[in-house]
Amino acid sequence: MGLKALIFDVDGTLAETEELHRQAFNETFAAHGLDWHWSAADYRQLLRTTGGKERMARHREQVGAGPDDAQIAALHKAKTARYVALVASGAAPLLPGVADLIARAQAAGLRLAIATTTTRANVAALITASFGRPMEEIFEVIAAGDEVAQKKPAPDVYLRALDLLGLPPEACLAFEDSRAGLASAQAAGLRVVLTPSAYTTGDDFSAADYLCIDLTPAATAGVPNLP
């Protein structure tokens, strides 16, 4: 079976959003009187834990104190609202080659999907800000982290995307920027195009099927069947 669909991660793959996430977390902590502040080095380590609520719980474990699970859920909701506002302001442009690849894929009749650990609200904000259109007009399938039992590196979110597409993994190609995402996609049987992001540069991506500096045509020329 030939290539039928492209499945994209969001943070660090479509846009360099992780610094905005870190900013939104820190502003939310401060606004709620919580004496947490995550440096870039802190956040790089915390990104090994997928999911915002899970990341906060991990930090609580590391420091030995902090909000309970219900308070973390409320903080995460406030953080999401702050992040959405930052993205809506245009603070997270698409990475090189992303918009062009999506346009070429659409022109070639390929189906498009999202498989992410972030929330639908975050995805909607980024896609609307980037394309000026609702995410459902760009991506046929949205599989988000809160909709599955386990987040990346578990394969759940990619398996959900494949199920919603009604396609086998060999008919699809995944796009990722992290080791957790790479492991998730490959565990679902997908081939992976890996483009390191600011927070993952220097990590070991030797297991990736295709390692590209970005998603421009020149960088992805070695990926078979990509339009």
Burial of 125 from C-beta contacts in 10 A (0-12 / 13-18 / 19+):
buried
Decide if 121 contacts 147 (C-beta within 8 A).
no
- The question of whether 204 is a catalytic residue gets the answer no
- The question of whether 11 is a catalytic residue gets the answer yes
Question: How many residues are recorded in the chain?
Answer: 227
Decide if 17 contacts 10 (C-beta within 8 A).
yes
| Planar angle of CA 71, 73, 75, nearest 5 degrees | 70
Catalytic residue among 11, 42, 68, 177: 11
Residues 6 or more apart whose Cβ sits within 8 Å of residue 73: 53
Residues 6 or more apart whose Cβ sits within 8 Å of residue 42: 59
Catalytic residues: 9, 11
